[in-house]
């Protein structure tokens, strides 16, 4: 009953714990996100094992940011792992370099707009220019698409605005900050339910803590899948 619109984030301390979770979830989940926090805990080896031995789709969430030559080189190396999605920051020069690095591979480059854990006060503290977050997200998304991004990462609250952009076309919208009804927000500030995120234009939703912290992760996953298909 898997549905690859659901990406489960393996935000666990190490690859062994993450692999155990994938065994619990079994065939209910076909797509996993492996983030920066697990990079030193066996994350790349886990990505390769899940992809090559278990047939899972893999989203490597590295949020790369550097000068163009460094980003291009890093992406070229990572693309050898046959990844499905790889994130970079949405600055146009970063996106262009990442696309060059991914050339010849199947890896899709997703551009981060504004992290779903941030609000306007956070942006002010970082000296980000004034403006409402949805407008800034939509502008960053448009610029990332123009630079060649295959898709963007944005909160579900901005999905509809991004989907309406003339540059969006068939590009992907992937939304973290998704919480089933009644779930704790954790470190997320701009959230929506799975069904609402998809209704507003998201192609994929990313759910982590509500699955791996649940007393019964498989039941929690099936509840999300039921909501997506309800």
Active-site amino acid positions: 63
- Which DSSP string do the residues of the chain spell out, in sequence order? ---TTEEEE--SSSHHHHHHHHHHHGGG--EEEEEGGGGGGTHHHHHHHHHHHH--EEEEEEEE-S-HHHHHHHHHHHHTT--SEEEEE--HHHHHHHHHHHTTSSPEEEEE-S-TT--HHHHHHTTPPSS-HHHHHHHHHHHHHHTT-SEEE--GGGHHHHHTSTTTTT-EEEE--B--TT---TT-SS-B-HHHHHHTT-SEEEE-HHHHTSSSHHHHHHHHHHHHH-
Pairing of strands 151-153, 108-112: parallel
Alpha-carbon gap, residue 85 to 90, rounded angstroms? 14
């Amino acid at each position: 009953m898997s549905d690859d619109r659901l990406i489960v984030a393996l935000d666990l301390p190490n690859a062994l714990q993450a692999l155990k979770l994938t065994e619990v979830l079994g065939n209910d989940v076909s797509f996993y996100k492996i983030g920066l926090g697990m990079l030193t805990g066996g994350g790349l080896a886990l990505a390769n094992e899940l992809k090559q031995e278990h047939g899972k789709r893999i989203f490597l969430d590295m949020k790369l940011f550097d000068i163009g030559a460094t980003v291009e080189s890093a992406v070229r190396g990572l693309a050898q792992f046959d990844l499905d999605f790889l994130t970079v920051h949405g600055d146009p020069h970063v996106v262009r370099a990442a696309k060059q690095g991914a050339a010849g591979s199947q890896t899709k480059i997703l551009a981060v707009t504004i992290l779903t854990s941030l609000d306007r006060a956070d942006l002010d503290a970082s000296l980000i220019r004034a403006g409402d977050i949805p407008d800034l997200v939509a502008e960053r998304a448009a610029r990332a698409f123009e630079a060649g991004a295959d898709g963007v990462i944005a909160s579900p609250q901005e999905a509809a605005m991004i989907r309406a952009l003339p540059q969006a076309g068939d590009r992907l919208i992937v939304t973290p900050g998704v919480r089933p009804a009644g779930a704790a927000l954790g470190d997320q500030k701009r959230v929506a339910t799975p069904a609402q995120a998809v209704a507003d234009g998201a192609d994929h939703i990313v759910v982590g803590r509500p699955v791996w912290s649940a007393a019964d992760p498989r039941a929690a996953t099936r509840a999300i899948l039921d909501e997506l298909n309800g």
